Amino acid sequence: MRKITVVCAALIAAAMYANASQTRVWSVSEREEFEKGSIKRLSVSSDGKVTLAPSLKELYDSSSPYLWAVARDSKGNLYAGGGGAGGAKAKLYMVPSGAAGKVLAELDGMDIYAVAVDKQDGVYAATSPDGKVYRVLPGGRAEVFYSPGAKYIWAMAFAPSGDLFVATGDKGEVHRVTPAGKGGVFFKTDETHARSLAIDARGNLIVGTEPGGLILRVSPAAEGFVLYQAAKREVTAVAVAADGTVYAAAAGARTAAAPPVVMPVPVAPVPAPAPAAPAQGTTRTAVAVPSTFVPGAASLTGGSEVYRIETDGFPRKIWSHPQEIVYTLAVDRAGRAIAGTGNKGNIYRLESELLSTLLLNTAPTQITSLASGPDGELYAASGNIGKLFAIGPGLEKDGTIESEAHDSTLHSQWGRIESRSVLNGGRITISTRSGNLDSPSKNWSPWSASVDAREGGRSGSPAARFIQWRAMMEQAPDGRSPELDSVSVAYLPKNVAPVVEEIEITPPNYKFPPQSLSLTPSQSITLPPLPRRTRPATPQVSLSIGSSSATLQYAKGFIGARWAARDENGDDLTAKVEIRGVAETEWKLLKEKITDKHYTWDSTAFPDGEYRVRVTASDSPDNPAGMALTAQLESEKFTIDNTPPEILSLAAGLNSGALDVRWTARDARSVIERAEYSLDGGEWTVVEPTTKLMDSRELSFNVRIGKVQPGEHTIAVRVADEFDNQAVSKTVVKP
């Protein structure tokens, strides 16, 4: 509701400003708008709230291109498995609590995709390809603990019983291994890969597969049940909350052989286990990156989806992204899913179906594995730069966000800066800078003096075309974060005179209908839209030029003009239309304060002749008196002609039983456009001149009407000029 209030207030303010001397407001309040800027040590929620991010500390920079998995023992020591193209050995790194990291062991294989720690702080690492599980002793000596006979080992997890479960590919099997290292196949998924693995408080395995995208629950008695089949092909990560809620991430487009299931697979209700925090030393598992993400293989495409399966078995998609791939999931102390993604290194917190928060960004890496600590902290391993990070549980002391550069489109004066925010005992200050380049650089102005976000204040940046703001947020003494909901900057673009681009005289004898007209006239023509770069020799009924059209009604004696006008400020315009004969010196007013971009008038009040019209556009509706600007344009010459042609020398006579009719048509200003005759009141028949062409102001006609009955005959002739002025004459032929 607060975000809705903020947006509505910004819209109301913008509307008020737009109606008062064209002051405008640039407002940023949505996550997509905030993320267009540069964000440091801040988090942004999907509802557009900016807060301090969880603290992020780099613990170790390994020599490996990738770290695939991370786990923690009860003493706070971290273990990370690495590998990558060009490495002769897979490496297991150790970062002791409070000490520098080191290589603990080098193992045969290219990569370590899974690391697990048992209740006695024993460390186990799984290598791929030709997967083997190694037990690594404190001094770094490693021994093969178990060999599942599989190419890949993707994930490992210890059950409360002390047994180690191993998820493998390319046979899609889950193996169970006793503390003595004896084991075998525990469950076959009938998939190519058992890709991800977690264990709930009741000892059930939660297994994600590829390529079917299955999320399976496997009981301690090895009874499998499909909780859900994802619309994606590969379940890259699974995690279980303390109350038994299952989270799963899936990625990759399905093939035709494995179509997505639209409806979720029915599931049996699962009683919620008694909530209990993990005991000190409980196994912490690491989920590796997808098989298709193996260096040298094709990357996953099509984005990711995250699902939540409630304790009663009801599944729901709670998050998706069209590009980012979720490689790992964890659950925080509040039971919320934490998703690590690539290829931008984003870490998200998923609060609900409608709300998520971009907690951190570690670009340009992939977050490949997450592990939880006992005090709410998280540990993250990254790929593409193999590093270990500690996240939280506290917040960063401060953070900044620099907006994108806003283009006001014109040279502008900057006004008041305001924000919607909740300080919670912290502090938010905002400053601005401006320039005339489309991206901030050394040739922009320096940052202005800061203003308090709650109080607001006037920007001290010089007038320019572009502006950028920077918000600096500081933690409260009690550790709480301030909250920033929106930032707005008022500005006044320089008023620029409007432009009248083109004037077109409309065809004679038509007028624009009144705005209230709801029925289309039976006699109408459609004009092409303006602006029009070429003018046809004769009026066109319809042309596909520009973006709008005009419809006129037939009205004898009327003529009009329409024009294209624009204003760079976006101001509303009014127009004044004047007329002047080509031999006259003074303009005569036809009408002013026209809000439409057209006007028609009765031309019969003007003598026949050549004229021009002048259109003056003004931006006065949106500017104070004395500040309004105008622009003028004169039309090309056009003709007013309301006088009909003359019919001269009309004569008719009988010749061998036929009628010969002759006449001459003459017009003072216009081309003769049409000629017809009627015999004895019959239908009008079109005729052509002796020259065959209707192209002159004077034309002769010689018409032979075939055999006629003896007796008296009346011949009427009618001619019209191009302005539809008509003349009629008749003659009588007697026997």
Q: Classify domain 646-733 by CATH architecture.
A: Sandwich (2.60)
Whole-number pLDDT of residue 262: 30
Q: Classify domain 54-395 by CATH architecture.
A: 7 Propeller (2.130)
Q: In this structure, are residues 94 and 81 in contact, taking their beta carbons and an 8 Å threshold?
A: no
- DSSP letter assigned to residue 352: S
3-state SS of 269-309 is CCCCCCCCCCCCCCCCECECCCHHHCCCCCCCCCCEEEEEE
- pLDDT > 70: percent of the chain: 87
The span from the first CA to the last CA of the chain, in angstroms, equals 97
Distance CA 250, CA 246 (A): 13
Helix (DSSP H) and strand (DSSP E) numbers for the chain: 2, 57
Q: Which residues contact 196 (CB under 8 A, 6 or more apart)?
A: 154, 155, 167, 207, 208, 235, 236, 237, 238, 248, 287
Which SS3 state, helix, strand or coil, does residue 409 take? strand
Q: Which residues contact 423 (CB under 8 A, 6 or more apart)?
A: 453, 454, 476, 482
- For 520-671, strand residue ranges (E) read 524-527, 550-554, 558-566, 574-581, 588-594, 598-602, 609-618, 630-634, 638-640, 646-655, 658-666
Whole-number pLDDT of residue 83: 82
- DSSP letter assigned to residue 15: H
Which SS3 state, helix, strand or coil, does residue 306 take? strand
pLDDT tens digits along 176-191: 999 999 999 999 999 9
Let me know if the fold of 499-640 is the same as that of 646-733. yes
Whole-number pLDDT of residue 120: 95
Whole-number pLDDT of residue 559: 96
Q: Which residues contact 437 (CB under 8 A, 6 or more apart)?
A: 443, 444, 466
Which two three-digit tokens encode residue 323?
Answer: 């590009």
> In sequence order, what are the beta bridge partners of 217?
206, 225
Residues of the chain with pLDDT under 70: 1-21, 84-87, 255-300, 515-523, 531-548
Distance CA 724, CA 557 (A): 9
Where in the chain are the domains?
24-52+399-493, 54-395, 499-640, 646-733
Whole-number pLDDT of residue 115: 98
Which two three-digit tokens encode residue 345?
Answer: 């290194």
Q: In this structure, are residues 702 and 622 in contact, taking their beta carbons and an 8 Å threshold?
A: no
Whole-number pLDDT of residue 625: 83
Distance CA 647, CA 677 (A): 12
CATH topology of domain 24-52+399-493: Jelly Rolls (2.60.120)
Whole-number pLDDT of residue 143: 96
Pairing of strands 558-566, 550-554: unpaired
Q: Which residues contact 101 (CB under 8 A, 6 or more apart)?
A: 59, 60, 62, 78, 93, 94, 95, 388
* CATH 3.90.850.10, applies to 499-640: no
pLDDT tens digits along 96-150: 988 899 999 999 999 999 999 999 999 999 999 989 999 999 889 999 999 999 9
Q: Which of 157, 244, 150 lies closest to 207, judged by CA?
A: 157
Q: What is the pTM of this model?
A: 0.72
